[in-house]
Amino acid sequence: MSLPSEVDIAIIGAGAAGLGAAHALQGSGRSVLLLEARDRIGGRAHTILAAPNIPFDVGCEWLHSADRNSFVGIATKLGAAIDRSRASWREHAFDVGFSARDHAAYYAAQDAFYERVEAAADLPQDSAAADWLEPGNPWNPLIDAISTYINGCELDQVSCFDTAAYEDSDINWRLQAGYGALITAYGAPCPVALNAEVTLIDHSGPRVKLVTSQGTLSAERVIVTVPTNLIADEAIRFAPALPDKVEAARGLPLGVAEKVMLALDEPSQAHHGLPVDGHLRGATNRVGTGSYNLRPYGRPVISGFFGGRFARELIEQGGDALAQAAIDELVGLLGADYRKRLRPLAQSRWLHDPFARGSYSHALPGHADARAVLAAAVDDRLLFAGEATSPHAFSTAHGARDSGARAAREAIG
């Protein structure tokens, strides 16, 4: 669509936060327009078909804290099928490289670690979550590896205060057609200008002027929902400058969490015993390792998840390095026969996505308060939303959506 010369409320970014804001503004009597730099809506929620009848969530996949996740009601309203079966992360479903005894010992160590982090959150001074690992505990590498999936980085880069602030009901569901597909359907009614990259937000005059790749328009109020790395890198500039926002964004960088889907050429004999939706750890004695979901929904695929410095190194290598690392690790666990049975189908590259530059936010040690700083309105005309502004559901799609609804309420007073 062509840009109008002016609107009442402009929303920058058509991800979960921007779409949440647009829905909240329906019926407000204000003219609203979403400005999206990509050629699609959804942001870091994106479902593709990796192969016929094989949906792959390149971004967010799980309805975290599903008993309080606003997208559950949205999915129900839109008729999206929800899989309410329990996530297999804590279940001992596959005895390869991780015995039932080791499984129990690991989770006892992990739970004790998070209890220490919770207690440390009552101290007057923030610290790195890594400071609360028990010295010499053999499960420390795996605890740190799990952080790379949860935070996109290792525990030495994670604020203890921020870790304790996250609220998780431990109820996690999936969407059979994909989370990204749901968010795309949710955004279908919203007014969006695609391929409209915003580079300047000029709030010096009586109206806010937005310079975009499709032209210039003005708005009475603007809701900014872009990932923190774009603000931190000043890919979007503010005039007058907003150094507090830039500094807050730099304290909330997007970590690196990347995914790969591998085709599994299955023999006729009982799939070699691979369970449906089984969970497999790549390694338990090092931080740089993958986490694998075996045959999700019984489909002939294995999905792999990588995070932190290890994922960054693989993405920087380019090509199919991520997929090859997954295949190498799986062959080491399942046997040499899998070398010819596994092949790459699709993978994410959020680190190199110009409109994300990472996966989801974490607070650096000493920067837990940056979420509130980033979320604060500027002169009641610039409102800020996005998962990084959520005080207790950061790094989630529903945290982003709810923050957008909050910013919309602020925009209309």
| Cα–Cα distance list, 46 to 56, 137, 183, 210 (Å) | 8, 38, 8, 26
Q: How far apart are CA 389 and CA 142, in angstroms?
A: 29
Closest CA to 262 of 191, 204, 328, 186: 328
Q: How many residues can be counted in the chain?
A: 413
**What is residue 97's predicted lDDT score, i.e. its pLDDT?**
73
**What is residue 322's predicted lDDT score, i.e. its pLDDT?**
97
Do 314 and 322 form a contact (C-beta atoms < 8 A)? yes
State the fold for domain 6-44+179-252+368-412: FAD/NAD(P)-binding domain (3.50.50)
Which token pair is 210? Answer: 């937005």
Question: Which residue(s) pair with 280 in the sheet?
Answer: 292
Do 283 and 289 form a contact (C-beta atoms < 8 A)? yes
DSSP string for residues in 332-364: HHH-GGGGTTEEEEEE--GGG-TTTSSS-B-PP
Which token pair is 304? Answer: 């792999």
Q: Which amino acid is at 205?
A: G
pLDDT along the chain (413 residues), means of 10: 92 98 97 98 98 96 97 98 85 70 92 97 97 97 97 98 96 96 98 98 98 97 98 98 98 98 76 80 94 94 97 96 97 94 97 98 98 98 98 98 98 93
**What is residue 270's predicted lDDT score, i.e. its pLDDT?**
47
Q: Which helix (H) or strand (E) holds 6?
A: strand 6-12
DSSP string for residues in 185-240: HHHTTS-EETT--EEEEE-SSSSEEEEETTEEEEEEEEEE---HHHHHTTSSEEES
Which token pair is 212? Answer: 């975009």
Q: Which residues, 6+ apart, have CB-to-CB distance to 273 below 8 Å?
A: none
**What is residue 95's predicted lDDT score, i.e. its pLDDT?**
63
**Three-state DSSP class for residue 296:** helix
Residue 298 DSSP code:
G
The model's pTM is: 0.96
